[in-house]
Amino acid sequence: MRIYFLGGGDVKKRKCKGIYERAFREVCKRPKVLMLPWTTTSEEKRERYKKIIKEYFEDLGAEVKFAEASEPIEEIRRKVSASDVIYLPGGEPDVFMNYARGKRLGKLLKRFQGVIIGNSAGALVLCKECLITRDEEYSETMVIPGLGVVDFCVEVHYDPSKDEELKELSRDRKIYAIPERCALIFDGQEFETIGTIYLFYKGKKHTSSGQRNDF
């Protein structure tokens, strides 16, 4: 299993096209991608997200299907098993976790042998703790349980203005801060980076850029 943690990027404008192309190439020429559109309670937004992603990924040569939060666990498990890539989109991470409760999704994804892509909110929820820092949608920082696929945290849409808050939050956890159009790739043992990624740990900030890093 390889996980791509994306810091975010406008999917309508296809800002991270190169990252998705690389992730898809890791599995096969025409990968089967399963999207979990669970990051909004709005049916209108959900259908719009699905349409955008379907057109985007199909243009990149993928076959796209969806697993709805309302489906039985057994059906979600079947769809995951039949897929090469699992895609968790941007949106509201706390909404995703509300939908994920009781579905044992963390255990299911830990056993997955393909590529997992978490974009923005989708990256946050893969972590042991889902770190939601203040922004236009959230008036205060929240730390809620994540899926626990990895034992570290990530910060997405990273901006240096949040450094002091991230240093404080990192006193008892590792936080990888990922700017937009950048990615942290993890295979369970080693890290690779696309762009410059920042590690906050024990109240300090570290920088890494390049292909392979152990932080």
Output the pLDDT for position 209: 53
Domain total of the chain: 1
The string of DSSP codes covering 111-147 is T--SEEEEETHHHHTTBSEEEE---SS-SS-EEEE--
Contact 169, 131 (CB under 8 A): yes
Q: What share of the chain is helix, strand, coil (3-state, %, to 5)?
A: 30, 30, 40
Dig out the tokens for 174 from the structure: 């590792």
Q: Does residue 211 register a pLDDT over 70?
A: no
Q: Does residue 208 register a pLDDT over 90?
A: no
Backbone conformation region of residue 156, classed left if phi is above 0, alpha if psi is from -120 to 50, else beta: beta
Residue 122's domain spans which residues?
A: 2-213
Closest CA to 56 of 27, 26, 93, 90: 90
178-188 tens-digit pLDDT: 999 999 999 99
Q: Does residue 84 register a pLDDT over 80?
A: yes
Q: Does residue 29 register a pLDDT over 70?
A: yes
133-148 tens-digit pLDDT: 987 778 789 999 999 9
Mean pLDDT value across the chain: 94
- The CATH number assigned to the domain holding 20 equals 3.40.50.880
In this structure, what is the dihedral angle of CA atoms 138, 140, 145, 151, given to the nearest 10 degrees? 100
Contact 108, 80 (CB under 8 A): yes
